[in-house]
Amino acid sequence: MTTKFQIHNFSFFFKDQQILKNLEFQIPSNEIFGIIGPAGSGKTTFLRALNRMNDLETEISHKGNILMDQNDIYTDDFDVVSHRKKVGMVFAMPVPLPMSIYENVVYGPRLSGIKDRRALDGLVENSLKAAFLWDEVKDRLKTSGMRLSGGQQQRLCLARVLAMQPEVILLDEPCSGLDPISTAKIEDALTELKKQYTIVLVTNNTKQAARVADKTAFFLMGELVELGLTKQIFTSPVKKQTNDYITGRFG
Amino acid sequence: MMRLNPRYVQRGAVFVLGGATVLTLLILIFIIFFILEKGLPVLTLNFLTGNPEDLGRKGGIFPAIIGSIILPLLAILIATPLGIFTSVYLSEYTRESKLTRLIRFGTDCLAGIPSIIFGLFGYIFFVITLEMGWSILSGALTLAVMILPTIIRTSEEAIRAVPKTYREVSFSLGATGWQTVKKVILPNALPGIVTGIMLSIGRSIGETAAVIFTAGSSLRLPTSIFDSTRTMAVHFYILAREGISQENAYGTAATLIIAVLLVNLTAYWLMNRFIAKRRS
């Protein structure tokens, strides 16, 4: 088992408010790494620190490092744009861009300069198949991505990330707006995808983490409270707060 | 206080709101009909294609039609890229600060300045100082300066209205700032930007004060952008103001109205086609 991300004493600040506190742990390759915790615990901020999406906000600062494949992703001359191509992200709300299903999927590849029609067609088919969406949309790739249902839109967003052929997929509560059937489809896709990708899944739904994550981390108030094999976290948590949270006593 | 029955309030509201709409439309229709009724009898092929004779008492308005096409067209060609680039820079490449607020306040003030001030500025700066003389170039540059604030502000509003989530998605897929602007922001802001350009075309076609001072009022057909020219609006103004010919003044006005209508219809048709193509 290799390590994808090493988080070293990482803290994150918005203005003078500390969102993440001295995080110190590793995220292994080719697993689903679940992050659970109540609202405001810093899960999303942490996720967005991994692909440097926090950069889009103002008045932010950080301490410590995050290493991906041994390379610090917070050095001054770090190539953020290439990094984001390697670390794809699926957001909480499905956001298809206002263009066709096809164009949505090839958005990333086109940015990387892929123009060959056959290569793009192949990427579209493979990505949509991997996101379990191909059969539902293969006859209407030219219609707008916005005409799909919520669950289909979220799988389209997943396919769009897969088409970039990333190394890591970050998911920020990807099923929060979806019905149970759509959720099951996404979860099936993730379980399949971890063979090729490193997946970090932030979820408000503890049962989802229990179902699909290999390891689970519990965040509270910007701190990592507990991290372990999912089975162990959910059956015999070490910390009292973890036990309280997963049994629904707060959060 | 007595509480009014909401049903009556609702009826009253419908009456007031609907009444305002009908009144606005009626005034508009009345003006158009009034001008067309007086102007259409003069509108013949000879009037549209002929040269003016005897200061415009007789003959046609062909040079003025050409002036009315060239001048706004040139102004739009100069102001649109400048305006769009500025608004993209302001909304996408700068953080909100005192400076951006100052620039925004400045453009708002510029948009409210009477056109004759721009005319005076254009006369002193382009015509005299830069020695461009009364010419299409001076006029177009002056009009461009005049419509620039409108284009900047409407484009900026349109760009700001593009959902933040589109930007996030684009950046998260490894796009640079410029790629995001090109592929996501401008296409989605286009309807709003076009509206601003339409307003600007309308303003420059109808402009007289700023044009007389800078492009002059020559009745000859211009052969280059360094020639003076007369637009339909200026022609109409001079014919009516100097009492040269009321009929031909209304004929010019009718042509102007029809031209503006055609420009608007074409622009909206093009825009709808663009949107339909993207949405399909």
What are the sequence ranges of the domains in chain A? 3-246
pLDDT at residue B278 in the model: 67
Q: Chain A interface, mutation test: which of B92, B165, B169, B172, most A Cβ atoms within 10 Å?
A: B172
Low-confidence spans in chain B with pLDDT less than 50: none
The domains of chain B are located at 6-42, 45-279
Mean pLDDT of A80-84: 93
Give the integer Cα–Cα distance in Å for B118 and B189: 29
Q: For residue B9, what are its two tokens?
A: 């309030």
Angle at A20 between CA A17 and CA A21, to 5 degrees: 100
Look at residue B72 in the predicted model and tell me its pLDDT.
94
What integer pLDDT is reported at residue B5 of this predicted model? Answer: 87
Question: A121, B193 in Cβ contact below 8 A?
Answer: no
| Shortest distance, CA A160 to any CA of chain B (angstroms) | 8
Mark out chain A residues that contact chain B at CB-CB < 8 A.
51, 53, 56, 58, 81-82, 84-85, 88-89, 91, 93, 95, 97-100, 107-108, 111-112, 142-144, 157, 160-161, 164
Q: What is the pLDDT of residue A204?
A: 87
Question: What is the tens place of the pLDDT at every residue in B140-183?
Answer: 999 999 999 999 999 999 999 999 999 999 999 999 999 999 99
Architecture of domain A3-246: 3-Layer(aba) Sandwich (3.40)
Q: How far is CA B151 from the centre of its chain?
A: 9
The string of pLDDT tens digits covering residues B103-150 is 889 999 998 899 999 999 999 999 999 999 999 999 999 999 999 999
The angle subtended at Cα B275 by Cα B273 and Cα B278, nearest 5°, is 110
CB contact under 8 A, A97 and B170: yes
- The number of helices, as runs of H, and strands, as runs of E, in chain A is 11, 10
What rounded mean pLDDT belongs to chain A? 92
CATH T-level assignment (fold) for domain B45-279: MetI-like fold (1.10.3720)
Among A53, A107, A156, the residue to mutate for chain B (most B Cβ within 10 A): A107
Class of residue A247 by CB neighbours under 10 A (exposed 0-12, middle 13-18, buried 19+): exposed
Reading the block at residue A3, the tokens are 């390590």
Nearest C-alpha in B relative to A161: B173
Q: How many CA atoms lie within 13 A of A47 on its CB side?
A: 29
The rounded distance, in Å, linking the Cα atoms of B169 and B90 is 21
- DSSP letter at A216? E
Residues 6+ apart with CB under 8 A from A179: A150, A151
- Give the E-state strand segments of chain A in sequence order: 3-14, 17-28, 32-36, 60-68, 71-72, 87-90, 168-172, 198-202, 215-220, 223-229
On the 0-12 / 13-18 / 19+ scale of CB atoms within 10 A, B276 is exposed
pLDDT, tens digit, 9 for 90 and up, residues A97-143: 999 999 999 999 999 999 999 999 999 999 999 998 999 999 999 99
Kindly state the percentage of chain A with pLDDT values over 70.
Answer: 99
pLDDT of residue A85 exceeding 90, the answer is yes
| Cβ pair A19, A47 in contact under 8 A | no
- H or E segment and range at residue B52: strand B52-53
How far apart, in Å, are the Cα atoms of A220 and each of A23, A37, A41, A245, B216? 12, 6, 5, 10, 73
**What is the model's pLDDT at position A250?**
67
